[in-house]
Amino acid sequence: MMLDFSTLIAILAMAIATALIRLSGLVMMRYVKLSARAQEALTAIPPAVLMAVVAPTALMTGAAETISCAITAFAALRLPLLGATALGVACVALLRFLGF
């Protein structure tokens, strides 16, 4: 498969645009003061994204994944994102080992 020059330019342009958009958000946040409610809403985003990624797998596979998804969901309410993810991975590994 050959990479066409115009395809390479398009990929590079999209990469630059993505980087600029992400950097502009970081720069703008220096000048914007968020309310306490907005900060709370932003802290709720990582667990919501985690569940959006995990839920389809949990609902379309076996019992081990479904049980682990439920455990991860409850853990995400109290634990940091990394802790909830690690707990979910450990649960699915254990349940698969046990034959669920």
- 56-63 CB contacts, 8 Å cutoff, 24+ apart: 62/100, 63/95, 63/100
Question: Tokens at residue 100, please?
Answer: 């669920």
Question: Tokens at residue 37, please?
Answer: 């409610």
Contacting residues for 70 by C-beta, under 8 A, at least 6 apart: 58
Share of the chain above pLDDT 70, in %: 99
State the chain's mean pLDDT as an integer.
88
Share of the chain above pLDDT 90, in %: 37
Q: Are 73 and 49 in contact (CB under 8 A)?
A: no
With bands split at pLDDT 50, 70 and 90, how would you rate the model's confidence at 49? confident
Question: Tokens at residue 30, please?
Answer: 């220096």
Please report the pLDDT score of residue 86 as a whole number.
94
Q: What is the mean pLDDT of residues 58-80?
A: 87
Phi/psi-derived region of residue 99, left when phi > 0, alpha when psi is between -120 and 50, beta in every other case: left
Only one residue has tokens 């797998």, namely: 57
